[in-house]
Copies of this chain bind each other. A is one copy, B any other.
Amino acid sequence: MEFLDFSELAAVGKLQHYAQSPCDLTEPALLSSHRFAKYHLSSCGFDLLYACQRLDDAVLTALQELADEAELVEKFLAMKQGAVLNRIEGFPSENRQVLHTSSRDVFRDSPDHPPSVQQAKKQLARLRAFLKDLESSRIVNQAGEPFTTMVQVGIGGSDLGPRALCLALAAWGRPNHRVDFISNVDPDDAARVLAGVDLSRTLVNVVSKSGTTLETVTNERLVRETFVRAGLDPTRHLVAVTGKSSPMDDSTRYLATFHMYDYIGGRYSATSMVGMVTLGFLLGYDRALEVLAGAHAMDRAAEEKNIRQNIPLLMAMIGIWNHNFLGFPTHAVLPYSQALVRFPAHLQQCDMESNGKSVTRLGGPVRWQTGPVVWGEPGTNGQHAFYQLLHQGTEIVPVEFIGFRHSQYGQDFRVQGTTSQQKLVANMLAQSLALARGRDHDNPNKYFPGNRPSLVLLADRLTPSTMGALLALYEHRIVFQGFCWNINSFDQEGVQLGKALANRFLAELSAGDDHRQEFAGDSPEKFLLGLVNSSKSG
């Protein structure tokens, strides 16, 4: 396995050449049904339609060469088998394996990395037993009643992925089981959530790998205090998910504790206990396990070397074509499903924290663009919002649409001859075509330039299994791009400096009025602290 810089890959030169005159989607007859049938692939319950990308067979061949040359699938396999890929050569770094796929490699006799899979299975067994105890009322509150609510306290990867999953699958939630989330250090976040639950029947699931995350430690303290004030014993309401031997790994302080491991990064941890405890509470154990099964199926499908038969790999390569060669700085993920309302926020973390990097695996500066800005909101809502810019703005944004043939609740209704679900899907497909085709018009304000790339992911229904596959699909898309750019997608050094500067402010604030001294007279810190303390209304 070789780690070559992106700029050294031979296919890069070819692609740069093709990018000088990429195919024009507004060319008459280009967007034929033949092209749609050809640029279409089915895998793990998803159809991927990429006819509306600015590419042709030659570009696809070069993208295949790029994937081969950069040994993307080989590196992906090595990752799943336990290679230490979270590192920068020659410099102190986290030096860790990257084994989020193990958390769902629990369905076969010969998994890719047996030791970590063994740990995953052990945690799943403990979760199963815990959920059974709740169901059978072996675990109840002080009044002998069952618990009806679980509030997850976590931030970043301990919040966004789990939250996106729970929102996506709320339709599959069990009666009398609801979940909510507290993440922000903003005290109003906890106040609002705690005001909306019956504390006596609420479990709080505190999630932090290190057991020292400032926001989570603070919110746990606030939650414990709230239970005590309500005359309840926090130890009978709090559950912990944390790393072994972290300050939080203390079974005397929690009703139950589950473990996470340093070989799974926060943003890739939704299918570990980080996401599964709350999801299991909401859906029940068996349904939650279907999420893992869906993810595992995608983990296997992503081993295919032919980019035209591997959805995450192809989407990774198309993303690189758009970003590095056609020069588009952002891409939007637009799910036509209200249940996926927070999925783009999860992707924003998973993608931008993984690939927002400027250093190669060998410690050199990157000389090419790495991760783009990722953003998005559900359609059809977006159509009534920012789509104006997508169609007629001066910024060009490649779009990834995600849609489903059937609704989750099945509570649908025919208006003007079609169901709401049909309207939803029709709008998604129409937007993709409209962006590509554009429209000529005498009125310049009604003219659409077209030639704006998009792709469509279509599945039958947003089920636990589909959601698992979708989550894994995007994880692999991101990881493949990171390998291709020859960066470490698994660390996050870029979050440290802000923390260090915040701690300096906090030291000054906690020192009290008489002991402030750290900041020199001319430092902006001094000015800013003065401004924060100069409240107008008190």
Contact = CB atoms under 8 A, between A and B. Distances in A.
Given A156-B383, A356-B386, A371-B389, 9 more contacts: A155-B381, A156-B384, A218-B415, A356-B388, A383-B495, A391-B497, A418-B506, A418-B509, A425-B532
A353 interface: yes
A427 interface: yes
B424 A222 contact: no
Contact of A329 (B370, B395, B495): B395
Nearest to A520: B33
Interface residues of A, number: 161
Q: Considering residues A358, A371, A491, which has the most beta carbons from chain B within 10 angstroms of its beta carbon? A: A358
Contact of A380 (B51, B184, B409): B184
A153 to B, nearest CB: 13
A357 interface: yes
Interface stretch (A95-103, A126-134, A280-288, A333-341): A333-341
B384 A495 contact: yes
A338 B186 contact: yes
Interface stretch (A16-24, A116-124, A304-312, A444-452): A444-452
A422 B509 contact: yes
Number of copies: 2
Nearest to A428: B502
A93 B445 contact: yes
Contact of A423 (B218, B394, B535): B218
A433 B524 contact: yes
A501 interface: yes
A314 B195 CA distance: 39
B423 A393 contact: no
- 3 closest cross-chain pairs (CB), A and B: A356-B389, A156-B384, A417-B510
Interface in A354-382: 355-359, 363-366, 368-375, 377-381
A537 interface: yes
A366 B394 contact: yes
A362 to B, nearest CB: 10
13 contacts: A171-B191, A184-B380, A186-B421, A187-B420, A329-B395, A330-B373, A330-B395, A352-B386, A372-B395, A391-B498, A392-B494, A426-B505, A458-B531
Contacts of A183: 338, 381
Interface string A13-51: 000000000000000000111111100100001010101
A7 interface: no
Interface string A261-285: 0000011000000000000000000
Nearest to A377: B345
Interface stretch (A236-244, A248-256, A400-408, A474-482): A400-408
Contacts of A145: none
Q: Considering residues A337, A491, A510, A532, which has the most beta carbons from chain B within 10 angstroms of its beta carbon? A: A532
Contacts of A381: 155-156, 159-160, 183-184
